[in-house]
């Protein structure tokens, strides 16, 4: 195990050590010292992450640094073959970037929590909650970091469940409040539904791929696809459904994705996340930014090589639905934390949608940028709530920019980042301007410029998508209808242009006019296939062309997002105060706004491609899935940089129409919000009273009735079914057993009373009494009361005694 792997392990163990210290000694340490103890643990993790990150960025040969070091935990015997379950440390670009992001954001949240929780740590049942809060936070951090470094999907699942447990503890931290405990239970149960699917997918991996190691599983998956063996040759019946080959592989991928549906709160399991606002605000920042919801997207990235085209399409559909409905619900929210919660759901939908359409690094890039600005906005909302004496209703706020200037303008930076602020055609922008629009660029190609490999429809050919032996990449696999090939960041190169007509001999020209070897963007006669990075650009010959609605809905939401975020910021900080008491008490604390500044800097730095090339490199190495075109051999560093970076003249999407559609969406959305709310809430109230608008507003206020449907159909239906089943069980089983026992007891009582008691015990007692009475009668007979009788009896007795004495003497 090298220095970098050791550093990653130390970073994982440090929060666990602080968890143990606080669990045993936290009540003695007290506050705020117990909070700083937890900060020391996460700072140690951040130091390890920084050490690994700097080493990774300075390395010229990252392939030499990559390592998967592990130790056997247990060895199973599966079908006569030994299958070791190992704890492995995964060191690659994705691990390094995610590890650093999680520790940096978490450090800011930990520091913020010390100031925030100082006024929220009242004792419950004689137990101080302050040290317990940081105890849970430390365990949460340990669980997330352990998840990130795990190369074994088994241990990833173990840490996955630990993350779920910690989220339950933190969401329900105010356990003395009914709504908090209900929200924690709702989150826990909803995630268990997703984890059931995850466990099903894990079982299929175990049975058919015969390994829990992610890299080995991908290699086995690829080999089985190429040889039409293993899972692709399986034929099973599940609950009466006949599933075979590609269908079973798709089921495995969807099962694994179900775990992400729960953790990342994707439709239809999205209902738990808004209710998670019942926990302390730092918990909301941690769950909604850097840890729990990020875990779902990270899982999809790790198992991407095990996803069939149908599984990826399913993921894209789920992501598209989620990003749409949650963004619409966010428009009408009046609780500042609920707005941020639904915006998180929508942005997670973008990430999952990006994974589904194949924009692997773009989705992860959006995850990282989102982590910074969403954590910053959640902490900013916590500053507002704390400063306004726990008021969360934005209708009671307004005019807070003068009372909370740092919070106001750092929050505004977050609004710009999530809105996709930037100037199209340049590198001037924040957050979503780069990451989210990369997802849309790939979606554009998958919608309008895609040529399906099998007759344009991707029909099942007896092997699911096609015969395994016909799956070798063909020369025109990556040729789009426009005659262009999309590269990493949505750049397009004309295969028929004068600059690239000789790509087969000299390599494809990069966007800067430099030659990119065949390992990056051309053909390799030795392997008979392309070497473009399909994971990076979303190109796989077997992928299906996505329907137009899946492209246009994210485009529409690109306008909705800046509207509801600007509405949130304007109602909170701008205009005139709408509640003088709230405005009078508003204030901000330096200990709480210092992390906001750090996260604001992180938002800007992450936006300007701080992590994007590293994610691209990770994608190049990860693009060996059997159902996408592989990258064979090493890509030279310079060519890789050209492939993975954004060109200066095509920083956004290559299509001018798309630039025009989404490039200034932030202007339209934010401008409309200012127009409606610049003079307060009057115009919005008048709009809301319009007949059709009022109906829509009512539906959105009721969260499109998802909670009502679940409460009525699922919870209520389950309650009715279980109630009926329990009543039936009570009547047939419990009552039957009780009646049987009762009748048996009666029979035993009858035997005991009539036979044993009457005939035995009473008979014996009566016999003794009768014998005693008879003996008494016999003894009583001589007692006549007459003197002559007594003289007679005495004389007779004396004679008899004398006779006896004589007889003895004579003998």
Residue 562 has pLDDT above 80, yes or no: yes
Closest C-alpha among 535, 491, 470 to residue 312: 535
Closest C-alpha among 170, 161, 121, 137 to residue 42: 137
The neighbour count for residue 560, using CB atoms within 10 Å, is: 19
Mean pLDDT of 98-112: 91
Residue 753 has pLDDT above 80, yes or no: no
Residue 452 has pLDDT above 60, yes or no: no
- DSSP notation for 708-766: HHIIIIIIIHHHHHHHHHHHHHIIIIIHHHHHHHHHHHHHHHHIIIIIIIIIIIHHHHH
Distance CA 253, CA 208 (A): 13
CA atoms within 13 A on the CB side of 182: 7
Q: Largest Cα–Cα distance in the chain?
A: 162
Peptide bond into 673 cis (omega under 30): no
Distance CA 206, CA 222 (A): 16
Q: For 666-709, what is each residue's pLDDT tens digit?
A: 899 999 999 999 888 889 889 888 888 888 989 998 888 888 88
pLDDT score at 657 = 64
- Work out the angle at residue 479's Cα, subtended by the Cα atoms of residues 476 and 484, and round it to the nearest 5 degrees: 150
- Work out the angle at residue 501's Cα, subtended by the Cα atoms of residues 495 and 503, and round it to the nearest 5 degrees: 85
Residue 720 phi, psi dihedral angles, 5° rounding: -65, -45
Distance CA 534, CA 631 (A): 8
Distance CA 490, CA 421 (A): 19
Residue 86 has pLDDT above 90, yes or no: no
| Residue with token string 């004309």 | 494
Distance CA 229, CA 650 (A): 44
Closest C-alpha among 195, 119, 115, 208 to residue 157: 195
Contact 582, 389 (CB under 8 A): yes
Q: For 237-254, what is each residue's pLDDT tens digit?
A: 777 777 777 888 999 999
Please tell me what DSSP assigns to residue 422: B
Beta partners for residue 67, in sequence order: 91
| Residue with token string 């390395």 | 59
Own/partner pairs for 635-641, CB < 8 Å, 24+ apart? 635/517, 635/519, 635/520, 636/517, 636/519, 637/60, 638/514, 639/507, 639/510, 639/514, 639/515, 639/516, 639/517, 639/519, 639/520, 640/520, 640/616, 641/613
Contacting residues for 548 by C-beta, under 8 A, at least 6 apart: 447
**The two three-digit tokens of residue 106, written as one number:** 């978490």
The model's confidence at residue 481, banded by pLDDT at 50, 70 and 90, is very low
Read off the pTM.
0.78
Contact 91, 148 (CB under 8 A): no
Q: Which helix (H) or strand (E) holds 411?
A: helix 405-419
Closest C-alpha among 335, 378, 331, 349 to residue 270: 349
pLDDT score at 479 = 28
Mean pLDDT of 613-638: 41
pLDDT score at 37 = 92
Q: Range with the lowest mean pLDDT among 99-103, 418-422, 529-533?
A: 529-533
| Percentage, residues of the chain above pLDDT 70 | 77
Mean pLDDT of 554-580: 91
Give rounded-to-5 percent helix, strand, coil for the chain: 70, 5, 25
Chain centroid to CA 382: how far? 23
Distance CA 533, CA 487 (A): 7
Select the more confidently predicted residue: 753 or 572.
572
Q: Range with the lowest mean pLDDT among 94-98, 494-498, 670-674?
A: 494-498
pLDDT score at 645 = 32
Q: For 332-369, what is each residue's pLDDT tens digit?
A: 999 999 999 999 999 999 999 999 888 877 888 889 88
Distance CA 749, CA 337 (A): 67
Distance CA 94, CA 92 (A): 6
The model's confidence at residue 80, banded by pLDDT at 50, 70 and 90, is low
Work out whether strand 81-91 and strand 67-78 pair parallel, antiparallel, or are unpaired.
antiparallel
Select the more confidently predicted residue: 787 or 262.
262
pLDDT score at 629 = 28
Distance CA 512, CA 650 (A): 10
pLDDT score at 20 = 93
**The two three-digit tokens of residue 266, written as one number:** 């994707």
Q: Range with the lowest mean pLDDT among 167-181, 243-257, 611-625, 716-730?
A: 611-625
pLDDT score at 680 = 84
pLDDT score at 605 = 83
Highest mean pLDDT among 140-154, 282-296, 578-592: 140-154
Q: For 159-172, what is each residue's pLDDT tens digit?
A: 999 999 999 999 98
The model's confidence at residue 768, banded by pLDDT at 50, 70 and 90, is confident
Mean per-residue pLDDT over the chain, rounded: 77
Q: DSSP 3-state assignment of 71? A: strand
Distance CA 471, CA 132 (A): 55
Mean pLDDT of 642-652: 33
pLDDT score at 553 = 94
Contact 607, 417 (CB under 8 A): yes
Left (φ > 0), alpha (ψ -120 to 50) or beta: where does 464 sit?
A: left
pLDDT score at 641 = 34
| Percentage, residues of the chain above pLDDT 90 | 25
Residue 334 phi, psi dihedral angles, 5° rounding: -115, -10
Please state the three-class secondary structure of 297-328 as a single string.
HHHHHHCHHHCCHHHHHHHHHHHHHHHHHHHH
Beta partners for residue 84, in sequence order: 75
**The two three-digit tokens of residue 730, written as one number:** 């009570």
The model's confidence at residue 5, banded by pLDDT at 50, 70 and 90, is confident
Closest C-alpha among 767, 627, 751, 689 to residue 231: 627
Contact 221, 626 (CB under 8 A): yes
């Amino acid at each position: 195990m090298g220095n970098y792997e050791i550093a990653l392990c130390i970073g994982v163990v440090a929060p666990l050590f602080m968890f143990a210290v606080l669990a045993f000694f936290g009540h003695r340490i007290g506050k705020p010292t117990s909070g700083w103890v937890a900060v020391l643990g996460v700072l140690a993790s951040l130091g390890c992450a920084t050490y690994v990150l700097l080493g990774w960025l300075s390395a010229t040969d990252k392939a030499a640094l990559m390592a998967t070091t592990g130790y056997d935990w247990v060895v199973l015997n599966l079908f006569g073959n030994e299958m070791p379950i190992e704890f492995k440390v995964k060191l690659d670009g994705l691990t390094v970037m995610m590890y650093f992001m999680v520790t940096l954001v978490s450090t800011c949240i930990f520091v913020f929590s010390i100031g925030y929780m100082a006024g929220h740590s009242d004792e419950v049942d004689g137990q101080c909650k302050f040290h317990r809060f940081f105890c849970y936070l430390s365990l949460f951090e340990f669980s997330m970091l352990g998840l990130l470094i795990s190369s074994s999907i088994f241990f990833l699942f173990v840490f996955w469940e630990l993350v779920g447990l910690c989220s339950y503890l933190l969401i329900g931290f105010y356990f003395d409040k009914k709504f908090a405990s209900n929200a924690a239970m709702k989150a826990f149960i909803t995630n268990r539904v997703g984890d059931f699917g995850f466990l099903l997918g894990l079982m299929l991996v175990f049975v058919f791929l015969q390994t829990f190691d992610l890299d080995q599983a991908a290699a086995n998956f690829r080999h089985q696809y190429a040889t039409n063996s293993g899972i692709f040759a399986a034929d099973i019946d599940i609950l009466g459904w006949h599933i075979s080959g590609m269908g079973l592989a798709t089921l495995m991928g969807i099962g694994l994705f179900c775990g992400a549906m729960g953790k990342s709160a994707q439709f239809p399991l999205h209902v738990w996340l808004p209710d998670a606002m019942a926990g302390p605000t730092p918990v909301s920042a941690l769950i909604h930014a850097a840890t729990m919801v990020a875990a779902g997207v990270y899982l999809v990235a790790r198992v991407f090589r095990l996803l069939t085209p149908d599984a990826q399409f399913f993921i894209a559909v789920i992501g598209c639905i989620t990003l749409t409905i949650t963004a619409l619900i966010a428009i009408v929210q009046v609780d500042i934390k609920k707005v941020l919660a639904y915006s998180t759901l929508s942005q997670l939908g973008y990430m999952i949608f990006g994974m589904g359409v194949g924009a692997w690094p773009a989705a992860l890039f959006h995850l990282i940028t989102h982590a910074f600005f969403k954590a910053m906005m959640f902490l900013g909302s916590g500053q507002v709530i704390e400063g306004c004496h726990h008021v969360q209703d934005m209708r009671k706020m307004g005019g807070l920019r003068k009372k909370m200037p740092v919070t106001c303008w750092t929050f505004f930076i977050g609004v710009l980042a999530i809105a996709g602020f930037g100037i199209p055609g340049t590198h001037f922008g924040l957050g979503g301007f780069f990451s989210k629009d990369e997802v849309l660029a790939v979606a554009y190609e998958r919608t309008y410029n895609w040529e399906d490999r099998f007759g344009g429809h991707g029909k099942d050919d007896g092997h699911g998508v096609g015969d395994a032996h016909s799956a070798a990449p063909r020369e025109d696999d990556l040729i789009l209808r426009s005659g262009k090939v999309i590269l990493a960041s949505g750049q397009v190169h004309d295969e028929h242009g004068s600059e690239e007509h000789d790509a087969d001999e000299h390599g494809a020209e990069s966007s800067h006019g430099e030659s990119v070897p065949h390992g990056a963007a051309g053909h390799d006669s030795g392997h008979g296939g392309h070497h473009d990075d399909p994971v990076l650009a979303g190109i796989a010959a077997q992928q299906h062309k996505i329907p137009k609605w899946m492209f246009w809905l994210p485009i529409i939401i690109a306008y909705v997002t800046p509207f509801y975020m600007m509405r949130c910021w304007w109602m909170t900080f701008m205009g005139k105060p709408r509640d003088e008491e709230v405005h009078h008490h508003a204030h901000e604390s330096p200990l709480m706004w210092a992390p906001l500044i750090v996260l604001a800097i992180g938002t800007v730095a992450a936006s300007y491609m701080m992590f994007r090339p590293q994610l691209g490199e990770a994608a190049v190495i990860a693009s060996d899935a059997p159902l996408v075109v592989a990258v064979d051999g090493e890509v030279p560093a310079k060519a890789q940089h050209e492939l993975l970076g954004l060109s200066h003249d095509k920083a956004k999407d290559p299509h001018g129409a798309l630039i025009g559609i989404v490039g200034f969406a932030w202007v339209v959305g934010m401008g409309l919000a200012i127009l409606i709310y610049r003079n307060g809430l009057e115009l919005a109230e008048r709009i809301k009273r319009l007949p059709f608008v009022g109906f829509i507003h009512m539906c959105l206020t009721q969260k499109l009735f998802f909670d009502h449907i679940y409460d009525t159909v699922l919870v209520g239906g389950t309650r009715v079914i279980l109630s009926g089943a329990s009543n039936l069980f009570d009547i047939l089983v419990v009552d039957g057993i009780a009646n049987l026992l009762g009748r048996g007891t009666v029979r035993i009582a009858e035997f005991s009373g009539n036979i044993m008691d009457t005939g035995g015990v009473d008979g014996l007692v009566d016999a003794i009494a009768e014998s005693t009475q008879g003996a008494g009668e016999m003894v009583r007979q001589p007692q006549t009361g007459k003197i002559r009788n007594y003289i007679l009896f005495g004389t007779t007795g004396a004679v008899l005694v004398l006779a006896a004495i004589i007889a003895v003497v004579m003998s």
